[in-house]
Amino acid sequence: MNRLLSGDSPKSIVLSVLLVAILIALAFAPFLFPGSRSLETAARICIFIVLVASYDLLLGYGGIVSFAHTMFFGIGAYGVAITIDRLGTGYGALTLGALIGLAVSGVIALLIALLSLRVRAIFFAMITLAIASAVAVLVSQLSGFTGGEDGMNIRIPRELTPANRLGEVMGTRITGKTLNYYLVFGGSLLLFLLMLRIVNSPFGRVLQAIRENAFRAEAIGYRVVYYRALATCLSAMVAALAGSLFAIWLRYVGPATTLGMEIMLDILLMVVIGGMGTMYGAVVGTAIFVLAQNYLKELMGGLSEATASVPVLPELLSPDRWLLWLGVLFILSVYFFPTGIVGRLRGTR
């Protein structure tokens, strides 16, 4: 167990319980929460945990601010979509697409890193913003290649679609969709454990040292640029794999679902709410955020009806105001847990 977690135990009983609960909920989601909407939510949580954790690798461990993370996510997704579009449906094309996304992300990340990491951190952030915007425009313009604003539908192998009926287990119908979910779940779990391994390796320690004091890290013999460049590449490549999983799960890819600035902001919020530089923060932050995004509206609808007899409250709790309350939740969480939920639970400053 310790080896699996790379020696990085949660170090808090509440956090351990929370993490085990999330793990069990995700592992048995098709049986615990039947219904396509809850399965959508569970898959989204799995994929975003990986995406957010890979961003945490960069921001929380490396101290590098990037706005291009969704771009790498998109490259992974489009890699699968375009490859299948060109080569036809098949596991080979699926794997090849994911590998192409992985390679392209790695190369672009390396170029950005080597071009801009030598200078100030703010320059890197600006460059990533510029490149991400350029790529988003490019994707929406090159409609012959990427499907433009409409995006692309992806024809994945039939075994992974709802049309593939496999029978029933404990009253839950098992279809290709269930298999597809477990592909997402298994892939996400592996990628998360991989990142946990990386942040607890000697390399991960150097990243934290650089975040603390880059001048010092250089002076004791670490070539800061190379470490930051490698962190940027790793983070981009994991994001691309998360994007590939997302494309396979949704069977669709479009600019709004993968490349949008809103997603970039969501990722930032999830990292901060969960706790930067903790990895487990990605799990907790993503679970809470995605659940709130998907169910806050219903919850508020219920509350609004329940308080129908009270004067102002139903107005305030109207489902239309869910975004306002999400904002309030975010501000409160940052105010009360400046080190994130995980930082708070672990009792660090």
Partner 1 sequence: MPSPSLVTRDLTVRFGGHVAVDQVSCAFTPGELTAIVGPNGAGKTTYFNLISGQIRATSGRVELMGRDITRLPVAARTEAGLGRAFQLTNLFPRLTVLENVRLVVQARERRGFNLWTMAMGHRDLIAEAQAVLERVRLTHLADQTVSALSHGDQRKLEVAAMIALKPRVFMFDEPTAGMSVEEAPVILDLIAMIKSDPEATVLLVEHKMDVIRSLADRIIVLHNGALVADGKPAEVMASDVVQEAYLGKELSDV
CB of 102 to partner 1, least distance (A): 16
Nearer to partner 1, 140 or 232 (CB): 232
Own/partner contacts of 198-202, CB < 8 Å, gap of 24 or more, are 198/57, 198/234, 199/6, 199/8, 199/57, 199/61, 199/279, 200/6, 200/7, 200/8, 201/6
Q: By C-alpha distance, which of 159, 179, 189 is closest to 282?
A: 189
Strands 165-169, 172-175: parallel, antiparallel or unpaired by DSSP? Answer: antiparallel
Q: Which is nearer to partner 1, 6 or 83 (CB)?
A: 6
Report in angstroms how near the CB of residue 203 gets to partner 1 at its nearest: 5
Phi/psi for 332 (5° steps) reads -60, -40
Residue 271 CA to residue 283 CA, distance in Å, equals: 9
Q: What CA–CA distance (Å, rounded) separates 347 from 349? A: 7
CB nearer partner 1, residue 219 or residue 312: 219
Burial class (CB in 10 A: 0-12, 13-18, 19+), 312: exposed
Instruction: Write the DSSP assignment of 158-205 as a string of letters.
Output: GGGSTT-EEEEETTEEEEHHHHHHHHHHHHHHHHHHHHHHHHTSHHHH
Cβ 236 to partner 1, closest distance in Å?
Answer: 15
Question: Least distance from C-beta 193 to partner 1, angstroms?
Answer: 12
Whole-angstrom Cα distance, residue 216 to residue 203?
Answer: 16
Residue 196 or 300 with smaller CB distance to partner 1: 196
Instruction: Compare residues 230 and 241 and give the one whose CB is closer to partner 1.
Output: 230
Closest to partner 1 by CB, 1 vs 312, is: 1
Tokens of 303: 């509350």
User: Would you say 93 or 240 has its CB closer to partner 1?
Assistant: 240
Closest separation in Å from C-beta 206 to partner 1: 5
Task: List contacts with partner 1 (CB under 8 A).
Answer: 6-7, 197-198, 200-206, 208-209, 212-213, 215-224, 226-227, 230, 234
Q: How far is the CB of 209 from partner 1 (least distance, A)?
A: 5
Looking at the DSSP assignment, which residues form a beta bridge with residue 168? 173
Compare residues 16 and 208 and give the one whose CB is closer to partner 1.
208
CB of 75 to partner 1, least distance (A): 22
**Which one-letter DSSP state was computed for residue 11?**
-
- Find the helix or strand (DSSP H, E) in which 152 lies: strand 152-153
**Side chain identity at 13, as an amino acid letter?**
I
- Distance CA(8)–CA(199), nearest Å, equals 9
Tell me whether residue 209 or residue 303 sits nearer to partner 1 (CB atom).
209
Given a contact cutoff of 8 angstroms between Cβ atoms, the answer to whether 68 and 126 are in contact is no
β-bridge partners, 21: none
User: Shortest Cβ distance from residue 254 to partner 1 (Å)?
Assistant: 34
Q: How far is the CB of 208 from partner 1 (least distance, A)?
A: 7
The DSSP element (H or E) to which 153 belongs, if any, is: strand 152-153
End-to-end alpha-carbon separation of the chain, Å?
A: 27
The size of the chain, in residues, is 349
Which residue lies nearer to partner 1 by CB, 35 or 202? 202
Closest separation in Å from C-beta 38 to partner 1: 36
